[in-house]
Chain A
Amino acid sequence: MNALAADAAITAEQVRGLPLDTQRGTVAMALFILTEAMLFVALFFAYFYLSLDKPQWPMDEPPTLTMPLVMLAVLLASSGVLEWGRRQGRAGRERAARGATVLTAALGAAFLVLQSLEYRKHLKVVMPTTDAYGSLFYTITGFHGTHVLLGVLMLLYVAFLPRLGPGDRPPHRPLHDASLYWHFIDGAWIVIVALVYVLPHWQRSSP
């Protein structure tokens, strides 16, 4: 009986006055992030699978730590800025939101510049064509760099949209959805730093 009463409530519920849906784009973005995350899982699987039968992994010198940690700081800062901007946007302060979005994109661009500097140095130690480790190192970090580039373009696009908040046609919450993607890129870099940069040093220092 209770179930039926609840049904009556649902089926007779007021439709007039309902807000416009803003969730479909967000759910789709979340699923897109999930499938992208599985892309990195497959890359890490390859990384660890190939390490299994090797006396040492990386097969050459492990990558240096300073630069990736600086890059991590840049990305973490950018996520903070973007989150602040998203809240400004939600509170209706569009100018601040747009400014924060552009600043985030600039920090992302800075990350890419730092990565190219790091590559320039590390390419002297190992190239993608040197061995399987080199192939994986550059593929994993290169995939991530491509994602950062895509994120930067996405943020710049959002910053110049005529409207940031929910509107009456899709895209519904451009800033919110793009920021989800940006935080994902940020999180992916944390995992990369931990597994590809820190772990080999830790393994070599502990007998």
Chain B
Amino acid sequence: MNSSTTSLQLTRLWETPHTLWGTFATVDHKTIGLRYLVTALVFLVLGGLEAVLLRLQLSHSDLHLLGPEVYNQLFTMHGVTMIFWYASPILSGFGNYLLPLMLGARDMALPRLNAFSYWTFLLSGVFVNCSFLIWQAPHGGWFAYTPYTNAQFSPGLNMDFYALALIFLTISTTAGAINFLVTIFRLRAPGMSLNRMPLLMYSTATTSALIVLALPALTVACVFLELDRHFGFHFFDVARGGSALLWQHLFWFFGHPWVYIIFLPATGMVSMLLPVFARRPIVGYGYVAFATVMTGAVGMGVWVHHMFAVGMSQLSMSIFSAASMVISVFSAVQVFAWLATLWRGRPVITTSLRFAVGFIALFIIGGLTGVMTALVPFDWQITDTYFVVAHLHYVLIGANLFPVFAAFYYWLPKMTGRLMNERAGQWSFWLMFVGFNLGFFPMHIVGLLGMPRRIYTYPASMGWDAMNLLVTMGALLFAVGVVVSLVNFWISARHGAPAGPDPWKADTLEWSVDSPPPAYAFERLPTVRSRHPLWDEHDEYADPAGERILAEGRLTLATSWRDARPVAVAKMPEDTLMPLLLSLALTAVFTALLLKALWMAALFVMLGLLVTAGWLWPRAEKEPA
């Protein structure tokens, strides 16, 4: 069988028809990955617009651009949107697109579940933002502390939107995490044993494990909140034996691991692209992999450090303080590995590398203020001040947004087949880097001066005016930088110079296929013999007997979890509308719950079960053409 007939046959098998049906039915991980990326960027812009409004309101004392209630809704939705609907889904987008290609597989392990994750992510985001239509958006902060959020103090639909949308979203996130884990441990190319996995696999696997273990606490907390609010339960009601702190424990038991969930994959992406631009393998591969896993493991046990100010025993605070400081050791291992890689390499300075180095700088500042806040007495001093706002933005923007932009400049040429414009990229980087520091560094100082978080305005007598104006200007500059990149992505994806399969002379398997990759990704499934398949002398595609073409259906190879020996042929599902239908049924369920139409909700649950039954029912085979 010659190459062109093979690729024709594989295309027929794997390509989704370009019809309306195909648009909604596709299970192709590349399409889903791109949709994740675009949707998460839309949420980034939404959350960013909210931030701009907040900063305009705070730019001067005693302004009344936004009233207190609107301000509360906007700052809550800014946090909720950025943390839940941008920061994690954008990483899922990269993971979805890249993981199968890096592993040498033709799709994710559970492609229909993957489509379901995306639709559920999208619809839950639409659901929560619909709250703006009636100006009853969540207004209790992204942390939603009780008793502010119980029925007595927050009677509207605001926090119902919050609780229900988060339960809705956890379904998507959990499904996605399970999919990543199964993919990583079942579909790696023959020879890609654990000690040869690209580092992004370690961070994605760690993150996914954290999601599986920590997210149920959020679900339980939100269920408790709804039961308290509408059915007269007493979980958070101190008068009847409940506890307001129970919410905080459950929320932060999930919430702190979530910080690593939106941070580790970003470090994983930097560990992939930084060595490529340093033109050498990463220094301390084993240490970085170990530090990644340990960050996740210890990260499960530090949640109480968000609660030092609530009054607890000295012993428990000391334990959690120590654990929080231990984490910085593992983060430092990664930072030093990156620095050493740059030091020992011959760096080629590109926009992508600039963003990666910018990330290291910001992450060190955010990490150091993190160590400061892990100290109990210091934490008492700065709790609920702008110092914490500065710290968390250095960590979240520094360690999520900057690596994500580095990743866009690195991998968009693979996804679009076009190189991004470097000059616009440099402008964007410097605007973002300077704007960010101009905007967020002074927050440390106003925080130390005593400016509290979550206030909608302040009197001129406090003397915070000049600082706040500086913060607002910096934030606007930063926003301009983000827009420059977004425009660059849009234009370059259409008119950029052709990228070719491997514009960066990189080492991992995704760079061995065309840009953008064909629907079936690999004509012959690759084998791997080192950590850097494209840098060694092994021919990944040598297959004289034509055994690894697998063109008898949608097929890919399944391998053993540790040393990646081929053990089975994995059959992949066809495109189907069922995942979308199930997501729509869930949307109806949560909308009914929001309106307290319980019978209606039960009806839609049954509809959802019927759809699931249809989804899993075996169907007749599509004959290979």
Contacts and interface: CB of A to CB of B under 8 A. Distances in A.
Interface in A110-144: 128-136, 139
Contacts of B527: 10-11
A157 B613 contact: yes
A30 to B, nearest CB: 9
A62 interface: no
B213 to A, nearest CB: 5
Contacts of B568: 18-23
Contact of B529 (A11, A36, A53): A11
A7 interface: yes
A28 interface: yes
A187 interface: no
Interface string A140-156: 00000000000001000
Among A27, A43, A46, max chain B CB count under 10 A is at A46
Contacts of B550: 15
Interface in B138-193: 174, 177-179, 181-182, 185-186, 190-191
Given A27-B185, A28-B182, A153-B609, A170 B571 contact: yes
Interface stretch (A69-77, A86-94, A159-167, A192-200): A159-167
A135 B216 contact: no
Interface string B231-245: 111110100111100
Contacts of A157: 613, 616
Among A18, A35, A129, A130, max chain B CB count under 10 A is at A35
A177 to B, nearest CB: 10
A49 interface: yes
Contact of B569 (A7, A15, A136): A15
A172 to B, nearest CB: 9
A24 B181 CA distance: 10
B235 A10 contact: no
A28 B178 contact: yes
Given A35-B174, A50-B241, A135-B227, A10 B569 contact: no
Contact-residue size bin, chain B (C-beta under 8 Å from the other chain): 35 or more
B573 A42 contact: no
Contact of B212 (A23, A34, A134): A34
A38 interface: yes
A103 B514 CA distance: 54
Interface stretch (B322-330, B337-345, B556-564): B556-564
Contacts of A28: 109-110, 113, 178-179, 182
Contacts, number: 172
B138 to A, nearest CB: 22
Contact of B253 (A35, A39, A42): A42
B186 A13 contact: no
Given A129-B231, A135-B234, A31 B178 contact: yes
Given A28-B182, A38-B214, A42-B250, A132 B571 contact: no
Interface stretch (B217-225, B435-443, B497-505): B217-225
A130 B619 CA distance: 51
B577 interface: no
Given A15-B548, A28-B182, A38-B216, A132 B241 contact: yes
A14 interface: yes
Contacts of B235: 46, 50, 132, 135-136
Contact of B182 (A24, A45, A132, A153): A24
B623 interface: no
B566 interface: yes
B530 to A, nearest CB: 9
A42 B253 CA distance: 9
Given A7-B529, A128-B233, A23 B186 contact: yes
A135 to B, nearest CB: 4
A128 B242 contact: no
Contact of B566 (A18, A45, A153, A168): A18
Contacts of A19: 568-569
Contacts of A27: 181-182, 185-186
A21 B547 CA distance: 17
A24 B246 contact: no
A157 B227 CA distance: 31
A15 B566 contact: yes
Nearest to A163: B618
B532 interface: no
Contacts of B178: 28, 31-32, 35
Given A13-B566, A49-B249, A24 B243 contact: no
A204 interface: no
B567 interface: yes
A149 to B, nearest CB: 10
Given A50-B242, A135-B227, A21 B182 contact: no
B469 interface: no
B566 A169 contact: no
Among A38, A54, A136, A163, max chain B CB count under 10 A is at A38
A28 B234 CA distance: 35
Contacts of B558: 21, 23-24
B190 A18 contact: no
B565 interface: yes
A38 B218 CA distance: 11
Nearest to A134: B234
Contacts of A7: 191, 529
A67 interface: no
B190 A10 contact: yes
B227 to A, nearest CB: 7
B241 A36 contact: no
A131 B109 CA distance: 46
A138 B233 CA distance: 10
Contacts of A38: 212-217
A36 B527 CA distance: 36
Contacts of A31: 177-178, 181-182, 212
A15 B565 contact: no
Interface string B537-563: 010000001011010000001100001
20 contacts: A10-B565, A11-B190, A13-B190, A15-B557, A18-B569, A20-B569, A24-B109, A24-B186, A28-B109, A28-B113, A31-B182, A42-B253, A43-B220, A50-B241, A54-B241, A128-B233, A135-B233, A139-B227, A169-B618, A170-B616
Given A23-B558, A129-B232, 6 more contacts: A10-B527, A11-B190, A28-B110, A42-B221, A43-B220, A128-B227
